[in-house]
Structure 1
């Protein structure tokens, strides 16, 4: 059986990035692990430094259980270089290359409204973007077999 993966993004503002990625991916806040009723209860089992709190992180999941979980964790150091790993958001649907490109550009526009930034467009293929904290990702069409 293949291993499952989670993705983790470092940040300076967990709520800001969580709101953006929930909009971008259609994800929801992940409930705390059983038997905990809240994230605060779950975090209390760890001996966290006094200056760390529940607001220093966010945990998101695909409501359909298909995509990887996304952890967003506050770190003190700023982002200093291009991501070595990035997320590709695949826009569903079929049609002509022009129709697929129109869907990609529409999705990129929606994500700009949510706080993202367009970094580059590769006409007809994909748009390189950054989330509100500068983490790069791409918007492209779904694979033909999807």
Structure 2
């Protein structure tokens, strides 16, 4: 039996980073806990001061299949390269023609750049685009493959 898991991203502005990743992964804001109509009503009920409402955010797969992702406010900025990152697999795999893979990677990268990402590095193999190393709005690494 496998272990159920989720992922948490430390960040300085959970709302901004969660908004980017909702676009990147096509995820949605997680539902509030049972018994509450909204996250705002839950926060009020729990007595959380309004200036702490952006201390976290949570996204979920709209189909309910893939792991959820949380975003947690931390005081320190990112300072080194991530040791763990997501690969957004959009190209269809290396069995597809190189031109087709490159087109899919570049189209996805443009969509993500519009959402606030930046390209860090273009990785090629034998002169053919293999993947793009990118960063989200707070500099967290991910690849478009």
Matched, 1:129 2:134: yes
Counterpart of 1:144?
Answer: none
What's the offset of the Cα at 1:38?
A: 2.7
Q: What's the Cα RMSD here?
A: 2.1
- Give the conservation status (yes or no) of the 8 Å contact 1:39–1:54: no
Unpaired runs of 5+ residues, structure 1, are: 141-146
Deviation string 1:47-66 (CA, Å, 9 cap, x unpaired) is: 86x58622221100110112
Tell me whether 1:66 sits opposite 2:54 in the alignment. Answer: no
Aligned to 2:100: 99
Aligned 8 A contact 2:23 2:115 in 1: yes
Pairing of 1:102-121 with structure 2 (within 5 A): 102-121=103-122
Whether the 8 Å contact between 2:91 and 2:100 is mirrored in structure 1 is no
Runs of 5+ unmatched residues, structure 2: none
How many residue pairs were aligned? 139
**Structure 2 residue corresponding to 1:138, chosen from 121, 127, 143:** 143
Matched, 1:3 2:7: no
**What's the CA shift string for 1:83-131, capped at 9, x where partnerless?**
1111111115473122012101111121111110100111221110000
TM-score under structure 2 length normalisation:
0.84
